[in-house]
Amino acid sequence: MLKNRSLIGLLTAELVSLTGSAMTFVALPWFVLATTHSTAKMGWVLAAEMLPIAIFGIPSGTVIAKLGAKKTMLISDAARGPLMLVIPILHSTGHLSFAALLGTTFAIGIFAAPYFASSRLVVPEVAGEDEQAVASVNAVLSGANQLTQLAGPVLAGVLIAATTPATVLVIDGCTYLFSFFVIATVVRAGKRVEAAAQQKGVLSGVKFLLGDSLLGPIMIAACAINFVAQGIILGVQGVAYFRYHADAHVLGFLFAGFGVGALAGAIVAQQATQKVPLLKLAALAIVAMPLPLFLLSPTTPWPAAAVIIGAFAFFTPLVNAPIIGILTVRTPAELRPKVMTAVMTVASMAGPFGFIAAGYILRHVALGSFFVGLPALLTLGGLLFAAALLRHRDDAPGEVAVASG
């Protein structure tokens, strides 16, 4: 698997650029919280970066189909690098208003959905059209990505303490440019997809999802879960800021807990996806995933909080790798660009509202109560998600059940 030149290039580009993104994911909201002391404004900034996925995610599938996955990734990196540098430049000159920050993060978010979808659309060209193989490669990619979730937050915490959050944003901008160079010179997958006449149209991906008896209910459940799950990010920022004396080093280690847990989960998922029925694996993981979060309700030493966060994150690859594998192979090749971006759009549609809601809730609810209600809602959503999966546990691999009409 790792002898493939294109896969190595894709892994390298994602390792570097996602490390920078993981650093920014910690530094940017921390910057807002430290300068405004407002969890609500922190929620608005995170919402601004996710909102473009909901607005432009579905149309971007048409763009990917016309340009090809590789060219789309190149354009996304070429745009996000300079845009990320706008924030520290404005900050250093004293011109970074809250409105400018929201606008810049919104512009960066426009390119998130097409980049991620494109990076996953090249996987069948590398691994073939087998569900298990695609899921296995996605588990490897997930494992590589989780390394960035381990290194990025720790580096961010060190750099924030030693310099400023703006330094982290400069580094992130440079990682996008590095990713552009690697993808341009090494990756040989990601060609244009010629869609059949009846499969053209901006909403063809959405129509396919709604007509599929498995994917449609999954996307509805994922949308509801994603609304609640955004509160975890704000909650962890709040834990570091209010319980551990606004210590940036602690913040970095708490977010590194996500990376350690998810990396361990990705290692397990790489093997489990080859041995365990994918639907059963994802169903079990989605129910188990939120349970450790109840332990964040009482105040604990920060190393214990990091372990709890890691236990939650352990299950995320065990959900994502099987679902992406099923989704990719279950979808006809000519529809994949539009279906993949439609999935991201539908699943992320509630995310901005989740950030905003969590930000306002944290202004009025204690962290202890917050980490009782949030995992309870996630558990309920996980049960509904698992029920949708298990109804199809006896389906043949790759079987597509599409409504006629």
Mark residue 332 as left, alpha or beta (left: phi above 0; alpha: psi -120 to 50; beta: remaining). Answer: beta
DSSP state of 331: S
Q: Among 335, 330, 351, which residue's Cα sits nearest to residue 55? A: 351
Q: List strand residue ranges (DSSP E) for 103-153, in order.
A: none
pLDDT tens for each residue of 157-201: 888 888 888 888 889 889 899 989 988 888 776 555 555 443 555
Residue 169 neighbours by CB distance under 10 Å? 24
3-state class of 185 per DSSP?
helix
Look up tokens 């290194």; give the residue: 151
pLDDT beyond 90 at 295? yes
Residue 402 lies in a domain: no
The whole-model pTM stands at 0.71
pLDDT tens for each residue of 184-196: 888 776 555 555 4
pLDDT tens for each residue of 248-280: 889 888 988 888 898 888 888 878 888 888 889
Residue 47 lies in a domain: yes
Cα(6)–Cα(2) distance, integer angstroms: 9
Cα(251)–Cα(155) distance, integer angstroms: 11
Residue 263 lies in a domain: yes
- In the prediction, which pLDDT does 325 show? 79
Please give the distance of CA 103 from its chain centroid, rounded to a whole number: 21
* Radius of gyration (C-alpha) of the chain in whole angstroms: 20
Per DSSP, the residues of 361-400 read: HHHHS-HHHHHHHHHHHHHHHHHHHHHHHHTTTTSPTT--
φ/ψ (deg, to 5) at 402 = -110, 135
Residue 396 lies in a domain: no
pLDDT tens for each residue of 348-384: 777 888 889 998 999 889 999 999 999 999 999 899 8
* CA distances, 92 to each of 9, 42, 86, 96 (Å): 34, 20, 10, 8
Q: What CATH number is associated with residue 39?
A: 1.20.1250.20
Determine the angle formed by the axes of helices 69-92 and 165-185, rounding to 10 degrees.
160
Residue 348 lies in a domain: yes
- In the prediction, which pLDDT does 136 show? 65
- In the prediction, which pLDDT does 125 show? 65
Residue 382 lies in a domain: yes
pLDDT tens for each residue of 310-322: 999 999 889 888 8
Strand partners, 212: 402
Residue 401 lies in a domain: no
DSSP state of 296: G
Residue type, 276: V
Residue 404 neighbours by CB distance under 10 Å? 4
- In the prediction, which pLDDT does 376 show? 95
List the end-to-end C-alpha distance of the chain, in Å, as a whole number: 40
Cα(247)–Cα(244) distance, integer angstroms: 6
Domain count of the fold of the chain: 1
- In the prediction, which pLDDT does 372 show? 96
Share of the chain above pLDDT 90, in %: 21
Q: Which domain holds residue 329?
A: 5-188+202-390
Residue 233 lies in a domain: yes
Cα(267)–Cα(262) distance, integer angstroms: 9
Cα(194)–Cα(361) distance, integer angstroms: 47
